[in-house]
Amino acid sequence: MISLYRQPLIVTLCGVLLWTVTAQANHYLAAWHLNLFTGGLMLAYAALRFRSRIIWRIAAPLGLLVDAASATPFGMHAALFLTAGAVIHQMRGRKPRTDLVFSVAVAVLTNAALFLVIAVAFAIRGPVQAGVVLTLFLNLLLSSAFVALVAPWYFALQARALELAGIDARAQSGQTSQH
């Protein structure tokens, strides 16, 4: 039996790597007041392939990591990541979960949904300036394009990391119907 702690640890470490790459890209994009968000990509692989117990063990720490470096109230990303992971897990049904195109589409759609929820949460807190809406739209487009381009690499990274740890990711995707 696969350790319930080793598998989430490996996928979470891959998420930390993605977060680090995204943070570095955001450092360079800050000069143009642009920002990348990759929260949906961090969740898609796990939510499409693993059991719910594994998903929350990945979503919670990654959400808290993003929270720690964010201007949002602490715990907001963690709650959103847990919710998104649960929604993907419930909706995946008989979909081709290991199909790359489907997985990338789920990552892009989840990322856009999380981005919009966070943007609306900030808009509710106070008045929004007119230029902010254009910047948010550009950030959403840029983030969606980045997620679509990086997702195949990121999914392969996670599969290979699991393989190196002695975990057969393909066998796990067949066990996802168990809770």
- pLDDT one-digit tens code per residue, 109-163: 999 999 999 999 888 877 777 778 889 999 999 999 999 999 999 999 999 999 9
Cα–Cα distance between 73 and 106 in angstroms, integer? 26
Q: Specify if 81 maps to a domain.
A: yes
Structural domain total, the chain: 1
Residue 3 φ then ψ, to 5°: -60, 135
Range of the domain at 74: 6-174
Please state the length of the chain: 179
- pLDDT one-digit tens code per residue, 69-97: 888 888 999 999 999 999 999 998 877 87
Closest by CA position to 11, among listed 53, 47, 46, 49: 46
Query: 74-113 burial, b if ≥16 CB within 10 A, otherwise e?
Result: eebbbebbbebbeebbeebeeeebeeeeebbebbbebbbb
Whole-number pLDDT of residue 169 = 64
Q: Specify if 179 maps to a domain.
A: no
Q: What percent of the chain has pLDDT over 90?
A: 68
Q: Specify if 17 maps to a domain.
A: yes
Q: Specify if 1 maps to a domain.
A: no
Q: Specify if 99 maps to a domain.
A: yes
